[in-house]
Every structure is written in structure tokens, then in C-alpha cells.
Amino acid sequence: MFRGGFFPAGRIACSAISAIDIALWDIRGKVLGVPVYDLLGGLVRQKAVCYPHANGNSPERLAEHAQSLVEDGWKFVRWGVPQQGEVLDPSWAVRETIKQCEAVRDAVGEEIEILIDVHTRLDPPHVITLCRALEQYRPYFIEDPLRSENMSTYHQLARHVAAPLAVGEQYATKWEFRELVEQELMQYARIDLCIVGGITEAKKIAGWCEAHYIDLAPHNPLGPVSTAACLHLDLASTNFGVQELPRKPGTTLPDVFPVQLEWEDGYLLPADGLRDWGLSLMRRQHWLIRTVKLRHRSCVGPMEHLRIGRCESVSGRHKTCPYKNSVSLHCFLT
């Protein structure tokens, strides 16, 4: 699928590839009766530490929310650079983020890790000012400080900034990670398994990062399938750092996935009783799995239908998957 077209696959095609790849890993695990992390090399940890998203329209409100998250058991707190209404004033955002960091650090103490997401919204001069000012608050990392089109700007940032950087959630291929990994311009790789090519490509990037002492902080803004795929990569990767988890398991699509992963005191774990079963998710058996007919145009051959496992679309009707509880292509749709 990636190489079947004349033009390189973009983010939409790579997202489709990711969905199929994750589904196939899940099916393989279910057929063999083993967890996906065993297929990736086996456990190197029993659970993965996670971070939630804190919010608040003032430094004081943000600090209060961060403190409540810590009281709930989280070991990390993360928030994004603020803006005023629909407008982002870079200078104001820098000043306000510094105030936020001071308030949150005072509220949660020294034992809790803090993470700040710039979301690629500032230019190099403002980012340098912000990162240098935040170093006194010891952030675990500063996320996506610069736009992702020109990775060379990270050379400039590395010359001026000592705070750890986390980059990569917008990248759709391993080649986009190449300069940042090989030049060691980041400390954490924000691999998005639902864009980069699924578990298969994410595992390659993870090993590449390990050789350069870069840890993993997988991007995970989506639902149960994305979360499960991330967890299995985390459990099988020696260079895992922290996992994004904006919502606790069971709060998203519980009617579709009644059995999801477990959360305990800031850590994500496989669902109890399903540790040996694919991605450790259970889909309701009476739900039909919607299937999608995918076509790709080859520069040397005719249009082809892509079959996913033994599920395929037939004249607009649906066939159920032979593996009754397989996640299959639901990750395509959520």
C-alpha cells in the first residue's frame, strides 16, 4: 500500500495502513493465543506509566486541576501552551506558560513530573526564550516546540536549550524521524502508531531510537484500540519513557469495548484475564465489524481489492469476522 502508488503515501494512506497493521497484529495474537507484546519480543515491564491532560484558564485553575490529578494517583501532568480566545499571541503565551509552570510546580511538588506541549505553535526565538525560562522547573520534556516541516530548525534549538524535547507526533513515516534520531536532536520520540504505519513501523522506529538513547513517549489522543496498541509497544520496549493517556480506560466506547485495559495509580496495564489475547481488548460479539473496500492504483497493474484477514466487503453487505472478538477494522473508524 505504501509503495503501490506513483506518489509517496501521505498521512491519510499511512493512517489506513496503520489501522490494517494494528488489526493484523491483534488477529495474529488471538489466533496464536498470545499477547501482542510477546510477538514483539516479550515483556520488559509489567505496566506503563502514563500522563493525563491538565487544563485551566488561569495558572491558579491549572494548578488546582494538576493537584487533583496527583491526588487521583497520576505521577505526571501535562498541559498545552495557552491562548486568549481564538488568538495566540506568542509573547503573551510565553509569559503565561512560565507562570503556569511556577504555579503547577508549587502545587504538585518536586516528585511529580511536568510536561509542556507547545504543539508546534511558536517560532524559534519564542521557543528558545520559553525553554530556557522553563528549565528551572525541571520539565520531564517540552513537546513539539517547533513546526514539523523543517527538522533542521532543531539544530538551532539544540544549541540554545538544555530541557529535554519530545518530537514526532505529526510524522507519518520512519524517514521523517531520520534526521532527529540520527542527529540526536530530541530526547523522546512521540511516535503515533495510528499514523506512522502501525505497530510494525513503530517497532522499527523504537529500535532505531534505542541505538541513540532516545526514549519513547507514544502519541495517543484517540480511543481504546490506539491505547492498546501503544501499551503493547511500551511493554516490549526497553527505551519506553511515558505514555500519553488523556482518558482512563473504559470511559471511551464502553458499549463497543466492554473489556478494556486497566489503569491503576497512574499506570496502564493489560486487562485482567486477557493478558494472553491479542491487544487485550474484547469487542461485543453481536457487533458487526464494518469493513472497508480499499483500492490502490498501481502504476503497472489494475485496481486491486485489499482483503483484511478473511473480512471483505461484498456488494455493500457486511460479513462478520471469523475471529469473533477481534478488534479488526474498528480502529479504522475510531
Task: Tell me the mean pLDDT in the region 309-327.
Answer: 38
Per the CB < 8 A criterion, the answer to whether 171 and 195 are in contact is yes
Is 119 annotated in the active site?
Answer: yes
Q: How far is CA 26 from CA 73, 78, 99, 121, 259, in A?
A: 30, 30, 44, 36, 15
- Could you tell me which CATH class the domain 45-252 is placed in? alpha beta
**Across the beta sheet with 188-189, what order do the strands follow?**
76-80, 113-117, 141-143, 165-167, 188-189, 215-216
**Dihedral sign computed on CA atoms, order 246, 251, 255, 260:** positive
pLDDT digits (tens, 9 = 90+) for 108-149: 999 999 999 999 999 999 999 999 999 999 999 999 999 999
**Residue of 65, 155, 219, 286 marked catalytic:** 219
Q: Tell me the domain boundaries of the chain.
A: 45-252
Q: How confident is the model at residue 9 (pLDDT cuts 50, 70, 90)?
A: confident
What would the pLDDT profile of 202-211 be if each residue is shown by its tens digit? 999 999 999 9
Band (pLDDT 50/70/90 cuts) for residue 323 is very low
Q: How much is the pLDDT for 138?
A: 98
pLDDT at position 324 is 41
* pTM for the full predicted model: 0.84
Q: Mind spelling out the 3-state secondary structure of 103-167?
A: HHHHHHCCCCEEEEECCCCCCHHHHHHHHHHHHHHCCCEEECCCCCCCCCHHHHHHHHCCCCEEE
Strand intervals (E) in 219-313: 243-244, 262-264, 267-269, 295-296, 304-305
| pLDDT tens per residue, range 177-199 | 999 999 999 999 999 999 999 99
The three-state secondary structure class of 13 is helix
Reduced to 3 states (helix: H, G, I; strand: E, B; else coil), residue 311 is strand
* Residue of 119, 126, 212, 296 with catalytic role: 119
